[in-house]
Every structure is written in C-alpha cells, then in structure tokens.
Amino acid sequence: MMFTSMRIQSASILFVLAALFSFPVYATWSIIGVDRGTGEIGIAGASCTFDVSGVASLVPKKGAIVVQAASNYFARMEGVKKMQEGGSAGEILAAMQIDKFNPERQQYGVILLRHEDQPLVYSGKDIKPWSGSKTGDDVAILGNILVDKEVINQAYAAYEKGRKETFTHRLMDALKAGEESGGDNRCDKQAARSAFISVYDPETDAITKLSVYGTEQGGKPAVTLLKRQFDRLYQN
C-alpha cells in the first residue's frame, strides 16, 4: 500500500505533475471544481485500480481536465494545451474528441476558472455502466463502472451541502460521499483501491496533492485512508 503527499511551489510551471502518468488508467468517479471567489482549482478521484491519479491535469489559474474510463494521456495533453491557449470549455472538449483519441471509450470532464464557461462532461458510448455525470456552475462530478447513480448524486449533494466549508473540504466530502454510496462496482464494500485529491491555491501559487494507491483488493477503502491523511493535514 502506498501513501503520498506533496506540496509543489511555483505551480504555474508545474501543472504537468499529473501528466507524468502516461500509462492507461481506468477511473471510476471524480470531482473537478473551482472556487471563483478564491481562485482555487481542485480535482479528486477514486477507483478500483492500482493508481487513479493519472487521469487528471490541473492547470493553475486556468482550470482542470479529467480523461477517464479508458484514459488517454495524449487526449488529456491536447486539452491542456488548448486550455493554456485560452480556449473555451467547448473548444477544449472538442480538441480531445478527435477520432485518433478514440473518444467513445473515454469520459471527459472540463472546468474553467473564468465565469463565462460552464463545466462540460462527455461520456463515450462504449464506456461501461453504470456511468453518468452531474454538473453545476462550478463543479462537475462524473463516473463510470459505478454501483449505481447514487454515487454521483450523493457526491454532488455533499459538495453542495458543504458550501459554508472551505473549497478543499467540499472536494473531500464529495469524494467520501461517493465511497459511502458504493463507489466502484468492482470493489465491493471497499469502494476503491486508489484515491487522490489535488488543489491549487493561488495565494501560495502551490498545488497540494494527497494520494493513496496500491491497496490490495478487498483491503481497506482507499478514500477512507485518504481522508485520514486529509484530516491530519487540515486539522484545525
């Protein structure tokens, strides 16, 4: 079992952290969100795979991208490039949907910090059920290979319920609600074998990332283990 935590300064030039994971990753449920009041950007995800953290890219001061199901590194990097160039959410999504990336086997999520762009999600016709998504003005929750739609619904409800909490806590609460609703249908009561949360803070120009990966099948729930890390880091 692996536990990691890191805080990366000068995040504006180190957004490629998540891009280092270039191998295929099959993800289950994830949350991408922004706080337009504070400028924070965040991603959280969990899966019944060895390491889910390679599905996401966080672009400081811009937004975040998830490419999951049959995750495709090159599609995600095309989206990151378009995001860096100032593209709209629609333009970013379209850049990842070209035929060579096989988009029908993937599930995409795009969110931008700027106010004029709503989050967008695309679920390819060949991804495995249960799959779906729910979006709000500043958050998108998407998943595939879930036990049922309540994983998404309860994660979204937890995010909205936490509006008086910090942005980081809202992300963690949403991920935990997904676990409590059953999570990945391949993991039984464990819900997930790997989980992560990454948040960009514009005040420090840093990304804080926590992750759990490599837990054995049938072992401890990865999101529960992640929350223990989270509570230690963010204890009052």
Nearest to 124 by CA among 75, 178, 70, 76: 70
H-state helical runs in the chain: 73-84, 89-96, 150-161, 167-180, 222-233
Fold annotation for 2-233: Glutamine Phosphoribosylpyrophosphate, subunit 1, domain 1 (3.60.20)
Cβ neighbours for 178, distance < 8 A, ≥ 6 positions apart? 29, 46, 141, 143, 151, 152, 154, 155, 191, 223
Q: In which residue are the tokens 């400081």 written?
A: 60
pTM: 0.89
Query: Rounded distance, CA 42 to CA 111, Å?
Result: 10
CA distances to 67, 116, 148, 217 from 157, rounded to whole Å, are 23, 24, 15, 28
Residue ranges covered by each domain of the chain? 2-233
Token pair listed for 122: 């695309």
Per-residue pLDDT tens digits of the chain, which is 236 residues long: 655 655 544 333 333 333 334 445 566 899 999 999 999 999 999 999 999 988 999 999 999 999 999 889 999 999 999 999 999 999 999 999 999 999 999 999 999 999 889 999 999 999 999 999 999 999 999 999 999 999 999 999 999 999 999 999 999 999 999 999 999 999 999 999 999 999 999 999 999 999 999 999 999 999 999 999 999 998 85
